[in-house]
Amino acid sequence: MQMEEMRLDGNAAAGALRDVFARDVTDAAALCRGCGHRAMLGELLEYGHAMGIVLRCPGCDGVMIRLVYTPGWLRIDGSGMAVLEIPR
């Protein structure tokens, strides 16, 4: 198959994205990009305030996930994670 024949838009991933976002992910494991520590999301250290939540690594205190509430949107920055493993 040619690359163009395999290319679809993001709607084709709707089922897989639903598996990620329509569940409790506190038992998912995250690998810290900073120190390599692996922890369940429920074990991350939360620093919350009115605008959102910061989840930090329990190993190095580095920021792993930022959740920010803006009018009409929830913005998620997971750039502090190297990998997120969600149990099936």
- Give 11's contacts (C-beta < 8 A, 6+ positions apart): none
- pTM for this one? 0.83
Q: Grade residue 1 by pLDDT with cuts at 50, 70 and 90.
A: low
- Kindly report, residue by residue over 21-63, the tens digit of the pLDDT: 788 889 999 999 999 999 999 999 999 888 899 999 999 999 9
How many percent of the chain have pLDDT more than 70? 98
Domain total in the chain: 1
CA 57 to CA 78: how far, in whole Å? 12
Please report the DSSP string for 26-84 in residue order.
Answer: TTSEEEETTT--EEEGGGSEEEEETTEEEEE-TTT--EEEEEEEETTEEEEE-TTEEEE
Domain limits for position 62: 3-85
